[in-house]
Amino acid sequence: MEDIIERLPEMLIGAVTTVELTLLALAFGICLAVPAALARTSRRWWMRVVPYAYIFVFRGSPLLVQMFLLYYGLSQFEWIRSSTLWPILKQPYWCAVIAFALNTGAYTAEILRGGIQSIPKGEIEAARACGMSPGLMMRRIVLPRAFRIAWPAYGNEVIFMLKGSALASTITLLDITGMARSIIAENYLSLEFFGLAGVLYLLISWVFMRILKIVEVHLSAHLAPAPQVPATSE
């Protein structure tokens, strides 16, 4: 117990790194997912090809392999090492963020595509009847409606991304898992510190789930039943 209390600050530093990695990956992933989802729902086949290939590759291959290819593979090319991107790509932190963002972006794009295709056609026709341009309709009707529909499924992806961030420890990052492995290499208390790592992941997951639930309730506030007004007797 004394060892856990003594090394708890280090584990909390790892927890901060885990949260940072997850939030950055989700933020960049959304930026990739929105245009990919819109292109996937296009009627033009040539607009669907590139996002389909991106989604197929990153959903069909393991996240660990993607991260290894990015961190270890790209460094083998001289033109990458001499490019302006090398100061970013040589750092394990940013390689992890990029790999996580590309991976979650692919999954999120499919979630949003499902949300877009689930929008009732009557709402789209009503927007067109009001004279909305395609861009305005996309901004005011399609995307907000798709996000409401897809939010519960996206919540699952957020938790999956949090748990997947443990793979960052394989490229020397000291997130929760990496910090636990580093401490265990010194004192061999595997059960205690992997158990503590599990507790920290559970706590962070609980916080994320509460935030996701609050946002879901806010997005669905218009669907809540109207309060009943008691009848007054004359």
Q: What is the CATH number of the domain that holds 42?
A: 1.10.3720.10
> Residue 92: pLDDT band by 50, 70, 90 thresholds?
very high
The answer to the question of residue 229 being in a domain is: no
Q: What is the pLDDT of residue 45?
A: 86
- Residues 154/110/104/202 CA torsion (nearest 10 deg): 30
The answer to the question of residue 64 being in a domain is: yes
The answer to the question of residue 231 being in a domain is: no
Number of domains in the chain: 1
Q: What is the pLDDT of residue 94?
A: 94
The answer to the question of residue 119 being in a domain is: yes
> Residue 223: pLDDT band by 50, 70, 90 thresholds?
low
Structural domain range at position 120: 2-221
The tokens for 19 are 């949260």
The answer to the question of residue 198 being in a domain is: yes
The answer to the question of residue 211 being in a domain is: yes
Q: Is 99 exposed, middle or buried (0-12, 13-18, 19+ CB in 10 A)?
A: buried
pTM more than 0.75: yes
The tokens for 51 are 């996002």
The answer to the question of residue 227 being in a domain is: no
